Amino acid sequence: MTAIYKPTPEVHSLHGAVSGFRYLNAYGPFQSVLDVGTGLGTWMAAAHLAGVPDVWGTDVEKNTPDDNIFGSCKFKLHDASTALNLDRNFDTVICLEVAEHLGEESAETLIRSLCRHTNLVFFSAACPGQFGQNHINCQWPSYWQRLFNDEGFRCIDDVRWRMWTDGEVETWYRQNIFRAVRDSQAAGSEPRIPAVVHPEMVNPLLEPNSNHRAKSAAHTLHLLRSAKAVIRRVAVSLL
pLDDT by residue for the chain (239 residues), tens digit each? 554 445 555 556 899 999 999 999 999 999 999 999 999 999 999 999 999 999 999 999 887 666 666 778 999 999 999 999 999 999 999 999 999 999 999 999 999 999 999 999 999 999 998 987 789 999 999 999 999 999 999 999 999 999 999 999 999 999 999 999 999 999 999 999 999 999 998 763 344 444 444 444 454 455 555 555 544 554 444 55
Q: Taking the alpha carbons of 104, 36, 126, 238 in that order, is the dihedral positive or negative? A: positive
- pLDDT at position 224 is 52
Q: What is the 3-state secondary structure (H, E, C) of 115-137?
A: HHCCCEEEEECCCCCCCCCCCCC
How far is the C-alpha of 173 from the C-alpha of 163, rounded, in Å?
Answer: 9
Q: Which residues pair with 120 in a beta bridge?
A: 181
Question: What does pTM read for this prediction?
Answer: 0.81
Beta strand pairing status for 74-77 and 54-59?
parallel
Let me know the angle formed at the C-alpha of 118 by 112 and 123, rounded to the nearest 5 degrees: 65
Specify whether the CB–CB gap between 139 and 128 falls below 8 A.
yes
E strands within 82-224? 92-96, 120-124, 153-156, 178-182
Collapsing DSSP to helix, strand or coil, 178 comes out as strand
